[in-house]
Structure 1
Amino acid sequence: MEALDAAIGAWLLGTAGFEAMAVDGKVLKGAVRAEGAQVHLLSAFLHGQGVTIAQKQIARKTNEIPELRNLLQDVNIAGKVVTADALHAQRETARFLVEDKKADYLFTAVKGNQRKLRDRLTCLPWGDFPPQR
């Protein structure tokens, strides 16, 4: 099944012109493994097209953080932007995206998982440069 997922994802990626992709994890409501644990998927999908191009089931003894690198290892995202939530605001994830994959990233929020970074960001004069459309 993983080989089929990879082949379909590669085909979709090759047919869709895209600039940005999102990575997000979800627990599948009602889906339970044989040992009783819930099923947790990590997916990469294209912003503009709403198409999933890669997905990976998260093993019970791990979490999304290291699996993002495994999910995107074989996906060509050079020159593209990868967005992810606060959970992925990690140095190793940023390094992987920029240095290994030659991509850019935007982590949408920084929460308590990166306290020093959050504290540095709150000190910035945000009113001096509001987001532009």
Structure 2
Amino acid sequence: MMCIDPVEFEEITIGRIYEFLQDLRKCAQGTMYCHQSVDGKEARGSGRSEDTKNPQRNINVLNVYSNSDCLCIHSKPVETKTNEIPVAQDILRMMDLKKTVITFDALHTQKVTCNIIASKKGIYVAPVKENQSGLREEILEKFKKYEQNPKKKITTLDTEKRNFRFIILPSNYDDCGFTGMKTFVEMVSHTRKKAITMYFISNTKDTELIAEAIERRWEIENNFHKEKDTYLNEDDIHFTNKTSINNIVILNNLALALAKIYGSISTNEMRVAKKEFKAFPAECISKVQLIMKDTEIIKQVKSNLRRKKR
């Protein structure tokens, strides 16, 4: 694994599947927006304990996951002397972000990161927490002023478990260094016993698009990271070489993607289909290869992939 170039490996495997799924999405949905999430995952079997000759902390891998395609499109290890922020920025710089909405946790609510996304024609939906005190206070103050002035409009949108309020900013509003910032968002989540209030900024005025992105921002954790642990037992794999870890992660990304595509064409439920894929991988992959060449069932694959995600 340490002799394989992970960039080339990802391009010829994940890249090919991503192209296929993009074609499916365009066929089924036209030119609708794609939603992608950025988040890190610790490779728990990549370290060495403190009592060894060369102790090493577990390596963190930064992932970009396409919620729209159920596919991790990029994975890159984070160097021990840095953090996720520059790694995410490097990946985003090389991506085509047109018609793409990017979400992430508050660590990545950085001016440079948001500027990269906006400059590449993408949309950011960025959480603002206490550590961004100046921006957060500005958002809170803006909502307070709008609430006290009946001439000011606060747009509302409610979903099953969340309530949203939006303030569309004036065109001459100072973006505070966050390129194209157009909207302040307040979200109250009722997914737990105690309601949680969060704030976001975005460079789009499309309130429905923003709400959908916020609703789906943790699919990378629930539909990807957890599945790699429970279905592929990724934490049980032990490698300390960074290149080997990167390639193992990409290989698991590929396996999970193929399993989900197989599940979308199987007559069985997704959980049963994934068991079949694990038991008979060669046969299942052969069926996936056939459908990737058969344009007659493109719509079926895409619609089933979304409907049978779990």
TM-score range, shorter chain: 0.7 to 0.9
Provide the residue aligned with 2:156 in structure 1.
130
- Larger mean CA deviation between 5-14 and 17-26 belongs to 5-14
1:66 Cα deviation from its structure 2 partner:
1.1
Give me the whole-angstrom Cα distance separating, in 2, the residues matched to 1:14 and 1:132: 34
Q: Secondary structure at the match of 1:41?
A: strand
Residue 132 (structure 1) shift: 4.2
Aligned equivalent of 1:28: 43
Counting only pairs closer than 5 Å after superposition, residues 1-133 of structure 1 correspond to structure 2 as: 1-2=5-6, 3-17=8-22, 19-32=34-47, 35-99=55-119, 101-107=120-126, 109-125=127-143, 128-133=154-159
In the alignment, residue 15 of structure 1 is paired with which amino acid? F
**How far apart, in 1, do the equivalents of 2:80 and 2:46 lie?**
14
Give me the TM-score of the superposition, normalised by structure 1.
Answer: 0.84
The one-letter code sitting in structure 2 at the alignment partner of 1:23 is V
Whole-angstrom CA distance in 1 between matches of 2:86 and 2:128: 18
Q: Does the CA-based 8 Å contact 2:62-2:78 persist in structure 1?
A: yes
Q: How many residues align?
A: 131
Q: Note the C-alpha offset of 1:123.
A: 2.2
Identity of aligned residues (%): 25
What are structure 2's unaligned runs of at least 5 residues?
A: 26-33, 49-53, 148-153, 160-310
Q: How far apart, CA to CA, are the structure 2 residues paired with 1:74 and 1:9?
A: 15
Change (3 A) 1:35 1:95: same
Q: Distance in 1 between matches of 2:18 and 2:140?
A: 37
Query: How high is the TM-score relative to the length of structure 2?
Result: 0.39
Choose between structure 1 and 2: higher strand proportion: 1
Task: Tell me the secondary structure at the aligned position of residue 132 of structure 2.
Answer: helix
Range that drifts further, 6-15 or 60-69: 6-15
CA spacing shift, 1:73–1:11, aligned 2, 3 Å: farther
Deviation per residue, 1:55-77 (Å, 9 max, x gap)? 10000011111111212333222
Q: 1:5 touches 1:54 (CA, 8 Å); kept in 2?
A: yes
Bigger radius of gyration:
2
Q: Which has the higher mean CA deviation after the structures are superposed, 52-61 or 35-44?
A: 35-44
Please state how far the C-alpha of 1:35 moved relative to its aligned partner. Answer: 4.3
Question: Cα distance 1:23–1:102, how it changes in 2: closer, same or farther (>3 A)?
Answer: same
Distance in 1 (CA, whole Å) between partners of 2:89 and 2:112 is: 9
**Worse-matched range after superposition: 120-129 or 2-11:** 120-129
Give the residue type in structure 1 aligned to 2:121: K
The 2-side partners of 1:21 and 1:15 are apart by 17
CA RMSD of aligned residues (A): 2.2
Specify which structure has the higher proportion of helix. Answer: 2
My pick for the range that moved more, 116-125 or 82-91, is 116-125
Q: CA 1:74–1:130 in structure 2 vs 1: closer, same or farther (change >3 Å)?
A: same
Aligned-partner SS, 1:16: helix
